[in-house]
Every structure is written in structure tokens, then in C-alpha cells.
């Protein structure tokens, strides 16, 4: 029986929960900008809802053309991988990787495609192995799963600059990853211990949903650790204010320089968004306030909503 794409994805997500994936490794090591240990824990516990954001959708849409360009530019034949197949690391089932493509000749290395808006200092020259650490760990797991000496990262910067990076297998790095994965899985998944809170969106969403409404009258006494984190937040808030001031000053100087001009080609733009139409619903309501139908509608569509919990530091 042929499975639909939705069914395949569901089975793939279930299997992912049985191991640590290449993208998870950087998260549990605290090296990823896409998540942290808490987001991985929530995922493995089935408490993380998988929803694609705009960046993820764009990544999937451009993946095949990026790989096709990689193959043509480098004159390397490749085979596209099945998105919904998880490749476990031989002899170490706690690690797995999903692939984008592989060479069909030579060392059969995996090739991972990335659509990156802007090239940063984290990337080296074309052909080098200098890439962000969270991609390095991802490729390390792919090389383990495929048992290949190399893996390539095919990147498209800014929609037009196609660059190839090559990483080499490192057995010492692999051993360190396996040790960390095994200890993390034993402590947090088998032992059911919750990781410390981190800055990931998943962690914030989990806390907001789990503790949506405060219990009136319930208080807690402060601890030394709590007071330390209160001070950390205060210092971060002050630094944020200062950074915002610097940002605003820089923006004002840029805008003053531009004046009526709409852009500095290749550097920045300052254009008007499309005009919008806004209805003054308050005034409309005033016009109909004395009508019985208005009052009936208000009663019908007025609902009580739990107020958001707001953290205020005194």
C-alpha cells in the first residue's frame, strides 16, 4: 500500500523521536542557533509541535535547484535522497541522519543543501571546510551514517551565489559526539530528567502553555539561584536598552543621509510599503450603538480571555 506524503512524514517524525539526529547534536551541545537541549527534549517526549516556518519552507523549495546547480558546477552525478528515510549510524542506533542527496560514484559522500540569505564570517572560501559549527556537527553525523570519508555542504547565498564546502571525517569528533549523545539520552530521555531552561522558542512556548494562569495567592520564597538570574535579566535588559539606543542613532543618521532618496544600491533601501486601508471601527460602532442589533452582536461575540502572564522585575 502506497503511503501519502503526510503519512510518510508522520512515520519519519515518530522514528526521529527514537534517536538523536544530526541537527539535534548541535542543539544538545548548546551550539545551534535553531534550538537548544530543551527543544530536543520536548521533541523526543512528543511535546513539540512541528510547524514549518517561512525559512524552512524556502529551504525545501530551493533544495533541489541548489543540488542540481551543485551537480552541474562541480560535474558530480548525484542521487536525490528520500526525505522521509532516517539513516541510523551503524553500530550506534542512538544517532541518525536524514539526507538531501549523495554522490552516485566515487566515495558516495552525502551532500546537504542550504539556502542562506546572506554570507557571514562563519563561512570560508569556496571549497574550504569553514562552515558554522551547527552544520559541521550535522555533516559529521551524516558521514557516520553513510560511512564516508567526506561530506559536502552545497550553499546558495543570496539566491545566486552557489558555493561548495567539504568536510573530512574525524574519528575523534565522532567519539566525542557519541559519548555526549549517550550520556544525554541516558539522563534526559531514559532518566526522564528535564534539561535546564534555555533561550529556544520551544522552551518559551512550553513554559507559556504549561503555566498559562497563575494560582492566586500562591507565592514562593526567593533562592540564591533565583536572585542571580533576576540580576542577569536586569543586566541584559539594560544592555538591550543601550543597544537599542545605538541602533536608533545609527538608523537616524542613515535616514538623514538618504533624505528623499530611496536607496544606496547594494547597501540599503528606505522605501514606502504599499498603502494600506484602515477602517475606524470605533467610529462605526458609535454610529450603531443605539441599535438593538448592535447590542445583540456585542453579547454574542464578547468572550472572556485569560490574561497573559507578564514577568515584572521589581
Residue 174 sits in which domain range?
5-201
In a domain, 309, yes or no: no
Determine, yes or no, domain membership for 211.
Answer: no
Q: Sorting pLDDT into bands at 50, 70 and 90, what band is 309?
A: low
Q: Which of 85, 181, 174, 111 is nearest to 137 (CA)?
A: 174
Residue 114 CA to residue 154 CA, distance in Å, equals 6
> How far apart, in whole angstroms, are the C-alpha atoms of residue 183 and residue 190?
10
pLDDT digits (tens, 9 = 90+) for 77-100: 999 999 899 999 999 999 999 999
Q: Are strands 20-21 and 92-97 parallel, antiparallel or unpaired?
A: parallel
How confident is residue 305, by pLDDT bands cut at 50, 70 and 90? Answer: confident
Question: How far, in Å, CA of 164 to CA of 171, rounded?
Answer: 23
The reply to whether 45 and 170 lie within a common domain is yes
Question: Do residues 102 and 160 both lie within one domain?
Answer: yes
CATH label of the domain that carries residue 151? 3.90.320.10
Residues 231/232/237/242 CA torsion (nearest 10 deg): 110
In the chain, the number of structural domains is: 2
Asked whether residue 155 falls in the same domain as residue 243, the answer is no
Q: Model confidence over 24-72: pLDDT tens digits?
A: 999 999 999 989 999 999 999 988 776 666 666 666 778 999 999 999 9
Residue 277 falls within a domain, yes or no? no
Is 39 inside a domain boundary?
Answer: yes
Q: Is residue 271 part of a domain?
A: no
47 with 110, same domain: the answer is yes
Judgement on whether residues 224 and 88 belong to the same structural domain of the protein: no
Identify whether residues 26 and 123 lie together within a single domain: yes
Place of cell 543570496: 158
Q: Whole-structure pTM over 0.75, yes or no?
A: yes
Is residue 298 domain-resident?
Answer: no
The answer, yes or no, to whether residue 280 has pLDDT greater than 90, is: no
In a domain, 214, yes or no: no
Amino acid at each position: 500500500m502506497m503511503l501519502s506524503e503526510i503519512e510518510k512524514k508522520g512515520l519519519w517524525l515518530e522514528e526521529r523521536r527514537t534517536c538523536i539526529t544530526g541537527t539535534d547534536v548541535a542543539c544538545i551541545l548548546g551550539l545551534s542557533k535553531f534550538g537548544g537541549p530543551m527543544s530536543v527534549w520536548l521533541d523526543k517526549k512528543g511535546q513539540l509541535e512541528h510547524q514549518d516556518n517561512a525559512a524552512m519552507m524556502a529551504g525545501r523549495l530551493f533544495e533541489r535547484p541548489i543540488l542540481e546547480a551543485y551537480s552541474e558546477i562541480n560535474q558530480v552525478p548525484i542521487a536525490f535522497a528520500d526525505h522521509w528515510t532516517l539513516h541510523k549510524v551503524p553500530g550506534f542506533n542512538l544517532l541518525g541522519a536524514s539526507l538531501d542527496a549523495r554522490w552516485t560514484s566515487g566515495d558516495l559522500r552525502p551532500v546537504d543543501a542550504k539556502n542562506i540569505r546572506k554570507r557571514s564570517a562563519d563561512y570560508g572560501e569556496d571549497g574550504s571546510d569553514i562552515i558554522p559549527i551547527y552544520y559541521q556537527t550535522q555533516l559529521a553525523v551524516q558521514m557516520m551514517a553513510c560511512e564516508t570519508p567526506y561530506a559536502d555542504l552545497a550553499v546558495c547565498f543570496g539566491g545566486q551565489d552557489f558555493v561548495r564546502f567539504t568536510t573530512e571525517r574525524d574519528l575523534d569528533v565522532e567519539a566525542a559526539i557519541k559519548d555526549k549523545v549517550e550520556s544525554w539520552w541516558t539522563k534526559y530521555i531514559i532518566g526522564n530528567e528535564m534539561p535546564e531552561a534555555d533561550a529556544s522558542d520551544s522552551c518559551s512556548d512550553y513554559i507559556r502553555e504549561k503555566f498559562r494562569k497563575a494560582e492566586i495567592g500562591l507565592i514562593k520564597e526567593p533562592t540564591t539561584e533565583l536572585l542571580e538570574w533576576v540580576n542577569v535579566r536586569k543586566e541584559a535588559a539594560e544592555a538591550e536598552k543601550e543597544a537599542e539606543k545605538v541602533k536608533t542613532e545609527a538608523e537616524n543618521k542613515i535616514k538623514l543621509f538618504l533624505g528623499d532618496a530611496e536607496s544606496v544600491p547594494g547597501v540599503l533601501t528606505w522605501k514606502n510599503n504599499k498603502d494600506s486601508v484602515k477602517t475606524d471601527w470605533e467610529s462605526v460602532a458609535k454610529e450603531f450603538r443605539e441599535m438593538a442589533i448592535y447590542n445583540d452582536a456585542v453579547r454574542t461575540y464578547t468572550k472572556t480571555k485569560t490574561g497573559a502572564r507578564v514577568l515584572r522585575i521589581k
